[in-house]
Amino acid sequence: MFKTWKSTFNLDKIHSMKLQRFECLNYGTLLQIILCTKLFDYYRTRLWNTLKLEINELKSIKYILSITDQIRINIKSRAIKKMNQLLTDTFEVLASKCKKERKKGRQTPMMIMNQLTLA
């Protein structure tokens, strides 16, 4: 998960700046990480439970990050219908474009977990 955060949120690319600016950028990035990770966990679980579909962590987090501005705007304007539509659209996009690619002869982690719960 940290590798995904590092590459998606550019945690390793910090240039010199005042301490206050760094703290502000750092806290903002941490809030984005929390939001994206929580949404990813929600969609990962929902897609697995409804469609038995695993999604790619990196692709999913990048997509969710790309819609954070829309989420923020909908929250600020209290546009509940738009927010619901955005979340539904996100479910569909993640299901179609962010599928986890299986490697030949290997089981995915969710497949292993599913076998353990059935045993």
SS3 of 55-111: ECHHHHHHHHHHCHHHHHHHHHHCCHHHHHHHHHHHHHHHHHHCECCCCCCCCCHHH
Q: Higher confidence at residue 40 or residue 101?
A: 40
Q: 91 is in which domain, residue-wise?
A: 36-97+108-119
- 117 inside domain: yes
- 19 inside domain: no
- Reported as a single tens digit per residue, the pLDDT across 11-40 is 777 788 899 988 898 898 888 888 999 999
pLDDT grade, residue 90 (50/70/90)?
Answer: very high
Tell me what the mean pLDDT of segment 82-91 comes to: 92
Domain count, the chain: 1
- Reported as a single tens digit per residue, the pLDDT across 102-113 is 777 777 776 777
- 22 inside domain: no
pLDDT grade, residue 115 (50/70/90)?
Answer: confident
- 11 inside domain: no
